[in-house]
Chains A and B, each alone.
Chain A
Amino acid sequence: MSDFTRDEIHRLALLARLEFTDEQADAFAQQLTQILHYVETLNGLDTTGVEPTSHALALHSVMRDDEPRPSLSNAEALANAPEQEAGCFRVPPIIQEL
């Protein structure tokens, strides 16, 4: 496993909409590298014949029926919104297209 670089930290920060100074990025690069190396210990296990899984639950095929249930009220839905207007969340302008 290779080490994290400052540039990779900046790129991850951009994807997470965070902004770091170079000093912070360097510190995180070092810490994340340590964490990755620690997790790498798992590579020492022999997993031959073990199906990969994405969680530790012995459950599968959990589904619900298509029954509508009451939603929140508009006021409840917007209760945590820093800004609202006309029943909507009000956000910084979005470039029209994505």
Chain B
Amino acid sequence: MTAFETVIGFEIHTELLTRSKVWCGCSTQFGQPPNTQVCPICLGLPGSLPVLNRRALELALRACVALNCRIAPVIQFERKNYYYPDLPKNYQISQLRKNLGEAGWLEFQVGDETRRVRINNVHLEEDAGKNIHPETPGADYSLVDLNRAGTPLLEIVTEPDLRSAAEAAAFMNAMKSLLEYLEVSDCNMHEGRLRFELNISQRRAGEERLGTKVEVKNLNSMKTVLRCIDAEEDRQRDLLESGESVIQETRLWDEPSGRTRAMRSKEVAHDYRYFPDPDLVEIHVDEAWVGRVRAELPELPDARRRRFVEQYGLTDYSAGVLTARKPVAEYFESALRSHANPVGIGNWVINEVLRWLGEDPDRELADYPVAAHDLAVLVRMIDEATISGKIAKEVYKAMMAGEGAPEAIVKAHGLVQITDTSEIEPIVARVVAENPDTVAKIRAGKDKAIMALVGQVMKETRGKANPQTVNELIRSRIDEMV
């Protein structure tokens, strides 16, 4: 068995958050009836002329700056020619020779290690429309909706600097997080507004030269990308070990079989014949503009982490975890507005919210069942000793099950902590009387034995007593007996 090393790079596409399309004034609003956000320009009708949306370029520029790219002083758009029904002009306006950004990098954490992926280039292009395949059995046609055609699309191309699925996962999360923080895209992967395309190859350990790479399309979630890396790793290693070679090609992810498959040769018979689009003039990206974009960058993860440490007294670790994803950081700060206990709320967010998110890499915080305000109220009820930490876990479960606000749940289930010791004392007296052996152990100095008694009292109060109080009551009861 030869040891192989997997080499991975990505092409990332993300739709930019503009109000109108990149070459025309049609709205980019999602989810409208088909072909109602189209005009002669994005329909590719003869004689129509595109004009660049300044905001689209500015957002692209923001991404280039944050990805540490060299910014081209002069950019140009080119036509990438191919035929497909979702591409009404029969070419996509993209960039090739004068990309907006080049030679950048993104740093991210894999465990305790800081890794860096080089960015080959970042450029601005346009999205295609949507093909709909009717589900009617035997339907021998397709439908085309061009609402999305002409939506500004940012493409980020990395160098092949990743070496494993774990690194790829950390990279994808960091890239998504950065794009979210930059507010250039809403990064919704379910609806295809952020897409990762994979380049993957194998080389024998210690070898410098890269192996033959395969490009995989049709990966619509992070989980799928990770499954695909495993499947492709196996397929390519099997080929190489049996003395065959990997063919350089574009493959498609096939979800049902959990494997990639080759595209038929006709599907890839492309020759894009790029050439400068004569309908669009050169754009000068002057230094003043770049400087302004740099100065106006939103607060990025690193800066927010430092602020969380300073402002909220969190540990560097907690602050790092809470700021890794913008929606999580915002959830946390929003909860703080309802109850100012950063450490307490931080712990709940780290232990519960992030665990929930981590159960499925494609989960979005927007779908989390517990509102930030409700989580804050739950923590406040613990802080005010209305409920014990243990009961809080029960209340949280009910909140996750959609039973409503924490106060209502506590009330409905009668979970308010018993603070009146006269309610607990009789139970303590009985438990102590029923367990003379344990009491003898405690008297003999085996302090830990008391926990058995605390447990029994807690059980009898259905967890509503405060364990600390119970502990104290048992001790004084035993002392009284002397």
- Chain A residues within CB distance 8 Å of chain B: 11, 14-15, 17, 53-55, 57, 59-74, 77-78, 83, 85-98
Shortest Cβ gap from B453 to chain A (Å): 66
Cβ contact within 8 Å between A97 and B218: yes
A-B contact pairs, 11 of them (CB 8 A): A53-B282, A59-B281, A60-B74, A62-B281, A67-B19, A73-B36, A74-B36, A77-B38, A83-B141, A92-B140, A94-B85
B318 at interface by CB-CB < 8 Å: no
Closest chain A residue, CB of each to CB of B289 = A61
CA distance in complex: A11, B271 (Å): 10
Cβ contact within 8 Å between A65 and B83: no
B218, B278, B283: the one within 8 Å of A55 (CB): B278
- Given A61-B284, A86-B34, decide whether A67 and B39 contact each other with a Cβ distance below 8 A: no
Cβ contact within 8 Å between B133 and A94: yes
Closest chain A residue, CB of each to CB of B22 = A66
B52 at interface by CB-CB < 8 Å: yes
- Chain B residues within CB distance 8 Å of chain A: 18-20, 24-28, 33-40, 43, 51-57, 74, 76, 81, 83-85, 131-133, 139-146, 217-218, 252, 263, 267, 269, 271, 273, 275-278, 281-284
CA distance in complex: A86, B53 (Å): 31
On chain B, the residues within 8 Å of A91 by CB distance are 85, 141-144
Cβ contact within 8 Å between A87 and B35: yes
Shortest Cβ gap from A55 to chain B (Å): 5
Closest chain B residue, CB of each to CB of A69 = B25
Told that A54-B76, A69-B24, A71-B26 touch, could you supply 18 new A-B pairs with CB distance under 8 A?
A60-B283, A61-B284, A62-B52, A63-B52, A63-B53, A63-B283, A65-B54, A66-B19, A66-B53, A68-B19, A72-B43, A89-B35, A90-B142, A92-B142, A94-B131, A94-B142, A96-B133, A97-B218
On chain A, the residues within 8 Å of B143 by CB distance are 85-86, 88-91
Which 3 A-B pairs have CB atoms at the shortest separation, nearest pair first? A69-B25, A54-B276, A66-B55
Cβ contact within 8 Å between B36 and A71: yes
On chain B, the residues within 8 Å of A60 by CB distance are 74, 281-284
Shortest Cβ gap from B472 to chain A (Å): 65
Cβ contact within 8 Å between B33 and A87: yes
CA distance in complex: A62, B19 (Å): 19
Closest chain A residue, CB of each to CB of B74 = A60
Cβ contact within 8 Å between A77 and B278: no
On chain B, the residues within 8 Å of A72 by CB distance are 38-40, 43
On chain B, the residues within 8 Å of A65 by CB distance are 53-55
Cβ contact within 8 Å between B37 and A90: no
